[in-house]
Structure 1
Amino acid sequence: MSYIKAGQDANGTDVKLHYTDQGTGNPIVLIHGWPATYEMWEYQLAELPKHGNRVVAYTRRGFGNSSKTWDGNDYDTFADDLNAVLTELDLQNVTLVGFSMGGGEVARYMSKYKGARVSKVAFVAAVTPFLLQTEGNPDGAPKENFDNMVEGIRKDRFDFLKTFGKQFFGVGTISHPVSQATLDWMQSICQLASPRATEQCVYAFAATDFRQDLQTITVPTLVIHGGDDATVPAKVSGERMTQFVPHAQYVEYSGAPHGLFITEKDRLNRDLQAFVSGNTVEGTADRY
């Protein structure tokens, strides 16, 4: 296994981030969602390096085979970890791709590190700009929603993940966009996370306000979201992104669930490749 050192924890122990580095060419860094690992990008890692790209994907602290730190499950620390990845591998002119929770890393990194080393950013089914309902963010989701998630994790994390996985991929009585084998695989990688990181990151991605971070982004920006995303609904996330990044292109995948990196893998791969190459990303005209 390959690891990148990302500083030390409160006890002075090295923090190590598990990563993979595939292909040569245009550097793309893939940042996974909660509570998965970089392995969730299986179909992107198998395809994007075929088209002249160097594709790096890493697992954030607390998840998968990365270090399980007790503290540091916050976006300032996650942005520092992303900076460690870019610095250690000496990546330049990078396209950052953040899925779901990973969109927060992109936003906070671009603000905190002034977009160093980055030429483009893509937000895929991302939690940005701000999920939590507050007086200043009335369109967000009530805190009760996230409290219920944490309660479910504490009661039976494995059963919670099973139910969450079905919603994640839009599986219902009639709809079966992914196989049972895929659901089992996804649950297996999510189970590798530490219980503490799993719980703390719920409040990290829910309560972190990225609106000011987003306003610092000046590089080309692509926003992709599923029209039927029940996990991070487009109306509170993707559809609002151009309010804070006016030059961003918003593309909605009609009928797609949250886990569109699998259910819409071919389209997503084409769109990411087009974006990285500077070509047109096809989308709904009134979403631009």
Structure 2
Amino acid sequence: MPYLINTNGKEEVSIYYEDYGSGQPVILIHGWPLSAKAWEGQVPQIVDAGFRCIAYDRRGFGRSSAPWNGYDYSSLAADLNEIITQLGLDQAIIVGFSMGGGEVVRYMTDYGTDKLAKAALISSIIPLVKKKDDNPNGVPQEDIDGIMEAVKTNRVGFLHDFNRNFYNYEDLKDRMSEQQLHYDWSIASNASPRATLKAAEAWADTDFRAELQNVTVPTLIVHGDADHIVPIETAGKQAAEGIANNRFEIINNAPHGLNVTHKDELNKILLEFLRK
């Protein structure tokens, strides 16, 4: 199994990745609290379309190592930079799902866009999750506090309920199976408890609004209008207003986990953007 080693921080970190196909590189960055396995519905289509597809596990998740610290976005973006640097990638397209949108934006803030051709934000947390006076549609602080407390005290039980809401499962049973739901829950449950908490703090507390000006490559934004995890008003719509060169696509009745429930719709939009 391929691993890259990031030695730039206080702790050495091993990043697991999978690398398929050839052609222009497309890097897939998964959401919280899953792993690169979340991209199962996209990887074959990207490779078959003639691209090189690289999917990796964020530190603390999946098969990557789990340092005690280093879950802030600059540390996570440094891991992405190691992927790009050590694999010698150029004209890369970086695709961030949910929390992964933060790595996309922070990478451009910290490392620029010389190695990039395009970017995509799928169900992304960008630019700000938390409700504030100037972000009235965000998630209330008491709800975020409840998530953090549940992760600390009843992580596996919390993930069971969170997972169902992630996919709006009760409303979309015709689009995904109970077995798929359990599979994703098992992936999330096997993540590092420490990483699950600290990464949640990162996506909950980081305000990317000032960094949107750093996103200067053509950018695809895809969001579901039934996303109960990251509301479209505080995420997709604000990202589209703040990123100069973007294509904004709304998938009707799609939940947060639209890469599973609405994979055909997403894949069509994503592949059109990759080819353009």
Contact (CA 8 Å) 1:78, 1:105: kept in 2 or not? yes
What is the aligned partner in structure 1 of residue 96 from structure 2? 98
What is the aligned counterpart of 1:119 among 117, 120, 124? Answer: 117
What is the aligned partner in structure 2 of residue 241 from structure 1? 239
What is the aligned partner in structure 2 of residue 55 from structure 1? 53
Which range moved further: 141-150 or 228-237? 141-150
- Describe the SS at the equivalent of 2:14: strand
Cα deviation digits, residues 155-193 of structure 1 (max 9, x gap): 221111110110011112x54131111011101111121
Contact (CA 8 Å) 2:219, 2:247: kept in 1 or not? yes
- Per the normalisation by structure 1, the TM-score is 0.92
Please say if 1:14 is aligned against 2:12.
yes
- Describe the SS at the equivalent of 2:118: strand
What is the aligned counterpart of 1:110 among 108, 111, 120? Answer: 108
1:1-288 matches, within 5 Å, as 1-7=1-7, 10=10, 13-172=11-170, 175-176=172-173, 177-278=175-276
Distance 1:112 1:9 in 2: 15
Contact (CA 8 Å) 2:240, 2:246: kept in 1 or not? yes
Contact (CA 8 Å) 2:102, 2:126: kept in 1 or not? yes
Work out the number of aligned pairs and report it.
275
Contact (CA 8 Å) 1:9, 1:69: kept in 2 or not? no
Q: Partner amino acid for 1:65?
A: R
Distance 1:152 1:72 in 2: 21
Q: CA deviation at 1:53?
A: 0.4
Q: CA deviation at 1:231?
A: 0.7
- Describe the SS at the equivalent of 1:233: coil
Distance 2:115 2:129 in 1: 28
Contact (CA 8 Å) 1:26, 1:276: kept in 2 or not? no
Contact (CA 8 Å) 1:166, 1:183: kept in 2 or not? yes
Q: CA RMSD in A?
A: 1.3
Runs of 4+ in 1 over 6 A off after TM superposition: none
- Describe the SS at the equivalent of 1:232: coil
Q: Partner amino acid for 1:2?
A: P
Q: CA deviation at 1:8?
A: 5.5
Contact (CA 8 Å) 2:137, 2:231: kept in 1 or not? no
- Per the normalisation by structure 2, the TM-score is 0.96
- Describe the SS at the equivalent of 1:235: coil
Residues 1:53 and 1:175: Cα distance change in structure 2 (over 3 Å) = closer
Distance 1:175 1:256 in 2: 9
Distance 1:40 1:241 in 2: 23
Unaligned runs of 5+ in 1: 279-288
- Describe the SS at the equivalent of 2:253: coil
- Describe the SS at the equivalent of 2:154: helix
Q: CA deviation at 1:135?
A: 3.6
Q: Partner amino acid for 2:4?
A: I
Unaligned runs of 5+ in 2: none
Contact (CA 8 Å) 2:73, 2:202: kept in 1 or not? yes
Contact (CA 8 Å) 1:65, 1:192: kept in 2 or not? no
Query: Identity, % of aligned pairs?
Result: 40
Distance 1:136 1:258 in 2: 23
